[in-house]
Amino acid sequence: MDYDSAYERVSRLKKFYKSLLWFGIVAGILFFSDIIETGRIDFSLFNGSIILVIWGIILTIKAVKLFLLDEEWEKDIIEKEMRKDKKNIHF
Structural domain count, the chain:
1
User: Is the residue at 49 inside a domain?
Assistant: yes
Measured between alpha carbons, how far is 57 from 19 in angstroms, rounded to an integer?
Answer: 12
User: Is the residue at 60 inside a domain?
Assistant: yes
Measured between alpha carbons, how far is 64 from 30 in angstroms, rounded to an integer?
Answer: 26
Domain interval for residue 57 = 16-72
Measured between alpha carbons, how far is 39 from 69 in angstroms, rounded to an integer?
Answer: 41
User: Is the residue at 10 inside a domain?
Assistant: no
Q: 50 or 85: which carries more pLDDT confidence? A: 50
Of 42, 22, 25, residue with least CA distance to 34: 42
User: Is the residue at 83 inside a domain?
Assistant: no
In this prediction, residue 79 carries a pLDDT of 80
User: Is the residue at 9 inside a domain?
Assistant: no
Q: 2 or 88: which carries more pLDDT confidence? A: 2
In this prediction, residue 20 carries a pLDDT of 94
In this prediction, residue 90 carries a pLDDT of 65
Measured between alpha carbons, how far is 1 from 10 in angstroms, rounded to an integer?
Answer: 12
Query: Structure pTM?
Result: 0.66
**Predicted confidence (pLDDT) per residue in 30-78, tens digit:** 778 777 777 766 666 555 678 888 888 999 999 998 888 877 777 888 8
User: Is the residue at 68 inside a domain?
Assistant: yes
Question: Are the C-beta atoms of residues 34 and 9 closer than 8 Å to each other?
Answer: no
User: Is the residue at 33 inside a domain?
Assistant: yes
Terminal Cα-to-Cα distance of the chain (whole angstroms): 41
Measured between alpha carbons, how far is 70 from 91 in angstroms, rounded to an integer?
Answer: 41
User: Is the residue at 51 inside a domain?
Assistant: yes
